[in-house]
Amino acid sequence: MKSIRIYDTTLRDGVQGQGISFTVEDKLKIVKVLDEFGVTYIEAGNPGSNPKDIEFFERVKNIKLKNAKLIAFGSTRRANTTTEEDANVISLLNADTEVVTIFGKSWDFQVTEILKTTLEENLKMIYDTVKFFKDKGKSVIFDAEHFFDGYKQNPEYALKTLEVALEAGADSVCLCDTKGGAFPMEVYEITKTVVDKFNTEVGIHCHNDNGMAVADSIMAVQAGAIQVQGTINGYGERCGNANLCTLIPNLQLLMGYKCVPDENLKQLTHLARFVSEIANVTYDERAPYVGKNAFSHKAGMHADAVNKNTYSYELIDPSLVGNSRTFLISEVAGRGTVLNAINEIDPTITKDSPETKLILDKLKEMEYLGYQYENAGGSLELLIRKVLGKYKPAFNLKEFKVIVNEPSVNSVNSSALIKVEVDSIEEIAAAEGDGPVHALDNAVRRVLERFYPQIKEMRLTDYKVRVLDSNSATAAKVRVIIESTDGKDSWSTIGVSTDIIEASWRALVDSIEYKLNKES
Amino acid sequence: MKSIRIYDTTLRDGVQGQGISFTVEDKLKIVKVLDEFGVTYIEAGNPGSNPKDIEFFERVKNIKLKNAKLIAFGSTRRANTTTEEDANVISLLNADTEVVTIFGKSWDFQVTEILKTTLEENLKMIYDTVKFFKDKGKSVIFDAEHFFDGYKQNPEYALKTLEVALEAGADSVCLCDTKGGAFPMEVYEITKTVVDKFNTEVGIHCHNDNGMAVADSIMAVQAGAIQVQGTINGYGERCGNANLCTLIPNLQLLMGYKCVPDENLKQLTHLARFVSEIANVTYDERAPYVGKNAFSHKAGMHADAVNKNTYSYELIDPSLVGNSRTFLISEVAGRGTVLNAINEIDPTITKDSPETKLILDKLKEMEYLGYQYENAGGSLELLIRKVLGKYKPAFNLKEFKVIVNEPSVNSVNSSALIKVEVDSIEEIAAAEGDGPVHALDNAVRRVLERFYPQIKEMRLTDYKVRVLDSNSATAAKVRVIIESTDGKDSWSTIGVSTDIIEASWRALVDSIEYKLNKES
């Protein structure tokens, strides 16, 4: 089985993505999880262009890496100067990593039109800079920027830049599709030419401007590249870099290459979500392998087929990448789909048990009212518990009142009053908020804390609203979905009503009931 | 220049995506924009499996299409029955489209393990069903489900399913990577085999489970396929279908194929956002070509290079797909579209007029607050009128109060009181409703009718809510979009606030103001 070196650049090229920035603390955390996961290289910063990275490289020395090698990234020296006089080169040296990656231009157009120097001087810049770091005892990877665009316009010059880097002692060369416009077939052919011509390790670095970053990387591997650069979740400038969360399962589970230990691959979904949390970027649930939807089956026929044989509509067993199969409980869902959820509560129930029919009938009734449980596992579990008699109501609502004022009174525009009864004890509370739902949310937590102090552990992390049958306009039904967490688990609940306050209320109540039933 | 037929299945396979569902109204709107855009085929529903689609196919007959042909999609007949007895086949026939697409299994494993029938019977099912529709005078496209998986395990049988469909008279065959696990090189080789073997038009239909849907489609085209199936924004089951918003610019702008008229390609960004708004799905700003980030340049060096020469880091001129490099809201529709909106109010204004800059600055400010005018033309027109001094406020709000009661009082759960001032005359009114927004809507109409009787002509037809920054949970900002009609025109307006009542109120006010300003 051929080994592929995974070269992660989330912390360097990834942060070029819009809205992505990491503190030094963030970067140290991500270095640790990437190392645990088992990538070969972690390109962690550009100390020449980013002063924050200088601090990072200082602090990262305290972390003992088990698998990965840390890389500092930087440019060739500038034109018409010496490496020793170039501040960026010196910063890169001071980062004090065992491996450095030097990028230089391989496209003649970029040399003459952007760097505004001669083709000859550019070759010297590459040679001098690689040689400088080799003389300092570093391993050096040469990143051939714009290699594919360059090769298509002037193949001799593009190849010459590689030749010069290797003459200067570079340990490997990486072909970069910097503009992200290369197509799979040409990447295959051009990479093959390089692999055949030079006796060195070849790497690939792709951008996704034409949606081909992962495909191009795979074609390069098929042509003989053995080092693949990319980022977690495909973060990166413009449309991003090759997404390692797609690339690694493709290579390792479908194509038979070895990237990381099989056992570690199970960390992948967690890793993707973890980095997304730190980056504070909305997670792509439709992402191959690691998205929630990747193993969701909505169409009834497909869901039935998956129950017959998972191989029929799934590429891999989702647990191999730490993901799991979610069945969407839609109006077309078959009996088998619901059974999986029932069995998590009572494993003795079969598809022919009378309870199963009762639950399906109840689901049908609720779906008719606009409920949809595909993204509301907490409410689905409560519904099943109710039918099975495994549910205990946490409180009775006596009443609530929500008042919205425009203009605001003392800068508060919404307030809520709520009265509940628990074990024959009545309690009343009030709270204010940004809008009526927020006020009600605050009030119900306050009134229940007396009875259930563990409610303090719980917080809402997401609130979504969808209008159903929206052509009934403001009298339309709305569906609210809430996500909650208590730090250990997270769960989703749903409420439907023509009144958004009531729909929100129902989802809120389910969220609280789920938390309390889970622990009872 | 070789022509490629674009086959859109947003309305059929797209709705298999999690969280995606369209009303019949929504579908009719999308049919119109796809037709304007110039796709060849619009696969719009599966009347056999979805009763809502029967109503759709009835109503779509009233739309005169300029470019596209409508397609109804359905399965081959079931095993051991006749086409005439098969309810799904009859529903498909009743959809009454000129073209139908019939899908059948091309993977032996799926036939024996999932359909639980014989390989021989499956061939008869394909033959009979295609023949049935040919005898009724239809054009028939045969979708060879699981073709690539099938070919890899049993090439003779996979090819035989195509042969049988063609013998029965199918006008073309489409090779489907239903599980989404095929890789570019094998798609190229297998498609080439089919193209070489059969004298027919070959199509390609890819899913994105390994991130290859667009790459595989391109490889199939390079191997000779001339019909490409996909969806707007790549919506579809699990990880989605081939994204036409990536595929079309790739084929037409980088590879020299002809998909839609060049001029129409400028609608692409607008189309992508429009469908995303209707689907109520978060827009992917990192998407190739149509995302906001696709032409944004964060790294200082890259931004400098782009300033020197856009070719250095951009694949195409963003205006070719209706996108732009400067990131105003106007980028959404493009500066030209905003100018069109301005010119509807004042035809003398040009793109260099100072008013244009003022309006663009205002749009940018509003977008920063969470407004988006893509699907809110009424509010956009009001904003322009305000900047141009061509706006007269219809009323001043003095105050409103909305009260929500649970349990309901005499079966009314919400009531609203409102006080306004028009030409120094104050008026107060109250109304009840299904939920607070409905109560407020009823109250504001009632209080304004005294001054503006024409408000009675107007009614709201659509009400959509989107939570922005949803991880602030119930304190998050919400964006409300309302559609209104007065029987002659219809218009959309927007409101944004952390309070859903206030966001709804702003959209409501814009809706009323639009109506009254339009007539003044």
Give A188-218 pLDDT, tens digit per residue: 999 999 999 999 999 999 999 999 999 999 9
Amino acid A428: pLDDT? 93
Mean pLDDT over B310-337 rounds to 67
Task: Take residue B111 and report the two structure tokens written for it.
Answer: 């036939």
What is the CATH classification number for the domain harbouring B86?
3.20.20.70
Report CB contact under 8 Å: B183, A291: no
Residue A402 belongs to some domain of the structure? yes
B242-256 mean pLDDT? 97
d(CA A237, CA B511): 39
The residue among A325, A358, A387 that closes a domain is A387
Domain assignment present for residue A284? The answer is: no
Q: How far is CA A311 from CA A422, B148, B212, B289, B421, in A?
A: 49, 14, 19, 34, 67
Tell me whether residues A312 and B113 touch, CB distance under 8 A. Answer: yes
* Same domain membership, residue B236 and residue B111: yes
Q: What is the nearest CA distance from A266 to chain B, expressed in angstroms?
A: 17
Q: Would you call A331 helix, strand, or coil by DSSP?
A: coil
My answer on whether B320 and B179 are in the same domain is no
Backbone angles phi, psi at A422, to 5 degrees: -130, 125
What is the least distance, in Å, from the CA of B447 to any CA of chain A? 16
Q: Which residues pair with B172 in a beta bridge?
A: B141, B201
CB–CB of A379/A362 below 8 Å?
A: no
* Separation of alpha carbons A498 and A181, rounded Å: 49
Ramachandran class of B377: left when φ > 0, alpha when ψ lies in -120 to 50, beta otherwise: alpha
Report CB contact under 8 Å: B293, A113: no
Which residues pair with residue A403 across a beta bridge? A415, B403
Token pair in block for residue A279: 């980056």
What pLDDT does residue B104 have?
A: 97
Of A234, A238, A313, the CB nearest to B296: A238
Q: Is residue B353 part of a domain?
A: yes
More confident residue, B198 or A517: B198
- Asked if the Cβ–Cβ distance from B18 to A305 is below 8 Å, we say no
Given a cut of 60, whether residue B369 has pLDDT beyond it is: yes
d(CA B131, CA B134): 5
Write down the pLDDT at residue A270: 84
**Inter-chain residue contact B214 with A211, CB threshold 8 Å:** yes
Q: What is chain B's alpha carbon radius of gyration, rounded to the nearest angstrom?
A: 26
Q: Domain with A468 in it: what CATH number?
A: 3.30.160.270
Q: Are residues B326 and B183 in the same domain?
A: no
How far apart are alpha carbons B251 and B263 in whole angstroms?
15
Instruction: Give the pLDDT score at A102.
Output: 98
Across the interface, which of B313, B315, B436 has its CB nearest the CB of A404?
A: B436
Instruction: Say if B513 falls within a structural domain.
Output: no
Same domain, B104 and B214: yes
Co-location of B109 and B255 in the same domain: yes
- Rounded CA gap, A434 and B475, in Å? 6
Same domain, B274 and B307: no
Asked whether residue B405 is assigned to any structural domain, the reply reads: no
One domain, residues A353 and A440:
no
Q: What is the mean pLDDT of residues B10-24?
A: 89
Specify whether B152 is located in the same domain as B119: yes
Of A239, A302, A476, the CB nearest to B288: A239
Average pLDDT of chain B, as a whole number: 89
3 state SS of A96: coil
Residue A211 belongs to a domain: yes
Residues contacting residue B353 through CB under 8 Å, at least 6 positions apart: none
For the stretch A293-336, pLDDT in tens is 898 876 555 666 666 677 777 889 988 998 877 654 543 344 55
The pLDDT, as a whole number, for residue A217 is 98
Q: What would the mean pLDDT of A250-266 be, rounded to a whole number?
A: 95
Q: Highest-confidence range of A500-504, B4-8, B285-289, B303-307, by mean pLDDT?
A: B4-8
Average pLDDT score over residue span B311-340: 68
> Which chain B residues contact residue A113 at CB under 8 A?
308-309, 312
CA–CA separation, B405 vs B83, rounded Å? 56
Contact list, B184 vs chain A (CB under 8 Å): 184-185, 215, 218-219
Q: What totals of helices (H) and strands (E) does chain B contain, helices first?
A: 19, 14
Q: Establish if A286 belongs to a structural domain.
A: no
Q: What is the 3-state secondary structure (H, E, C) of A376-427?
A: CHHHHHHHHHHHHCCCCCCCEEEEEEEEEEEEEECCEEEEEEEEEEECCEEE
CB contact under 8 A, B406 and A505: yes
CB contact under 8 A, A293 and B17: yes
8 Å CB contact of A404 and B282? no
* Residue contact A460–B441, C-beta within 8 A: no
Same domain, A125 and A43: yes
State whether A358 and A407 are in the same domain.
Answer: no
pLDDT score of B466: 77
Q: How far is B186 from chain A (nearest CA, A)?
A: 11
Q: Which residues of A touch B309 (CB under 8 A)?
A: 113-114
pLDDT in the model for residue B281:
80
Question: Token pair 């809430």 is at which residue?
Answer: A482
Give the lowest-confidence range in A494-498, B18-22, B73-77, B496-500: B18-22
Which pLDDT score is estimated for B108? Answer: 96
Q: How many domains is chain B partitioned into structurally?
A: 2
Opening angle at CA B326, ends A44 and A115, nearest 5: 55
Q: Which helix (H) or strand (E) holds B269?
A: helix B268-279
Q: Which residue of A has its CA nearest to B179?
A: A313
Determine the distance in angstroms separating the CA of A191 from the nearest CA of chain B, rounded to an integer.
Answer: 15
Tell me what pLDDT residue A307 has: 65
pLDDT value of position B335: 57
Give the end of a domain, one of A279, A304, A329: A279
- For residue A139, what pLDDT is reported? 98
Residue ending a domain, choose from B357, B388, B419: B388
Residues A160-188: b if buried by 16+ CB within 10 A, e if exposed: bbbebbbebbbbbbbbbbbbbbbbbbbbb
Residues of A with CB below 8 A from B285's CB? Answer: 18
Domain assignment present for residue A423? The answer is: yes
Among A449, A476, A60, A491, which Cα is nearest to B25's?
A476
pLDDT the model gives residue A330:
45
Q: Over range B506-517, report the average pLDDT.
A: 93
Pairing of strands B412-422, A412-422: unpaired
Does residue A391 or residue A472 have the better pLDDT? A391
Nearest to A253 by CA among A334, A176, A322, A169: A322
| CB contacts < 8 A (A, B) | 348
Q: Chain-centre distance of CA B433, in angstroms?
A: 32
Nearest residue on chain B to A304, judged by CA atoms?
B114
> CB distance A461–B471 less than 8 Å?
yes
Six-digit token pair at A406?
A: 């425009």
- Find the domain containing B308 and state its range: 294-388
Residue with tokens 């090779």: B175
Can you tell me whether residue B124 is helix, strand or coil?
A: helix
CB A60 within 8 A of CB A28: yes
- Shared-domain flag, residues A382 and A495: no
Q: Do residues A145 and A271 both lie within one domain? A: yes
Please give the Cα distance from B106 to B122 (Å, whole number): 9
pLDDT tens digits along A434-479: 888 889 999 999 999 989 999 988 888 777 787 776 556 666 788 8
pLDDT, residue A87, reads 92
Q: Kindly provide the residue ranges of all beta strands, DSSP E only, lying in A302-395, ordered along the sequence.
A: 326-327
Q: Is the pLDDT of residue B10 over 60?
A: yes
What pLDDT shows up at residue A510? 95
Strands in A207-363 per DSSP E: 227-230, 296-297, 326-327
- Partners of A18 on chain B (C-beta within 8 Å) are 285-286, 292-293, 296, 298
Cα–Cα distance measured from residue B347 to residue B340, given in angstroms and rounded to the nearest whole number = 9
As a whole number, mean pLDDT of residues A116-125 equals 97
- The pLDDT tens digits for A54-88 are 889 999 999 999 999 999 999 999 999 999 999 99
* Beta-carbon contacts of residue B446 (< 8 Å; ≥ 6 apart): B429, B430, B431
